[in-house]
Amino acid sequence: MDNLSAIILAGGKSSRMGQDKALIEIDGVPLLKRTYDAAKHCTDSIYVVTSWRDRYESILSDVNWIDESAPRSPIIAFTEAFQQVSTEWVLLLACDMPRLNGETLQELTAQLGESSIVVARSEEGWEPLCGFYRRDCLPSLQNYLASGKRSFQDWLNSENVQELELSDRQILFNCNTPTDLEQVD
């Protein structure tokens, strides 16, 4: 899609994991590279937001880097990155989703339509780091942050969000702890 860019967040501290999640290898491929490869099925315009660009440059090519001065909350990192992207749509992804695959992401783009926010939902709530955001929702996001709020869930709950219909909910699984990592097939 010419009107779609992807933003991958790889700026977290990985404190629960005890090591940099983006560099953890599944089947010999770092999680960040796996996410990048999945996003490539949807767009060639991929941005990675991180405080540790030097750690990742050797595993990614043909990517736009957005450097953070320090790790920030996902909603702040996304908003800052979103302001630097010019496409109508942005696919936002976390770097720690080992079951994500490009074919499924590509199929999900067919659900983009009238809604400005199209996001996956789990039993715990919205999954903002697996979703599509149209440019026209950026002012609302900026206003939300300007009011001092920082919860992705609260912001999404205040918006008209279309839920992504997923045929395989396993793509939402993210690796936050060593126990999570043991569950990866």
Task: Give the HSE-up count for residue 11: Cα atoms under 13 Å, Cβ half-sphere.
Answer: 25
pLDDT digit string, tens, across residues 47-92:
999 988 999 999 998 899 999 876 678 999 999 999 999 999 999 9
Six-digit token string for 104: 């499924």
Q: What is the mean pLDDT of residues 30-35?
A: 94
Per the rule left: phi > 0, alpha: psi between -120 and 50, beta: everything else, 183 is: alpha
Tell me the pLDDT of the chain averaged across its residues: 89
pLDDT digit string, tens, across residues 97-116:
888 999 999 999 999 988 99
- What band does 93 get if pLDDT is binned at 50, 70 and 90? very high
| Share of residues in the chain with pLDDT > 90 (%) | 66
Pairing of strands 117-122, 125-134: antiparallel
Whole-number Å distance between alpha carbons of 73 and 76: 5
pLDDT over 70 at 15, yes or no? no
Q: Where are the domains of the chain?
A: 4-182
> Tokens 């008209």 correspond to what residue?
160
pTM comes to: 0.92
Estimate to the nearest angstrom the gap between the alpha carbon of 150 and the chain centroid. 17
Cα Rg of the chain, angstroms: 15
Distances (CA, A) of 180 to 100, 144, 173: 15, 32, 9
Estimate to the nearest angstrom the gap between the alpha carbon of 157 and the chain centroid. 18
Q: Which fold has domain 4-182?
A: Spore Coat Polysaccharide Biosynthesis Protein SpsA; Chain A (3.90.550)
Estimate to the nearest angstrom the gap between the alpha carbon of 84 and the chain centroid. 15
pLDDT over 90 at 171, yes or no? no
Closest-CA residue to 3 (of 92, 81, 89):
89
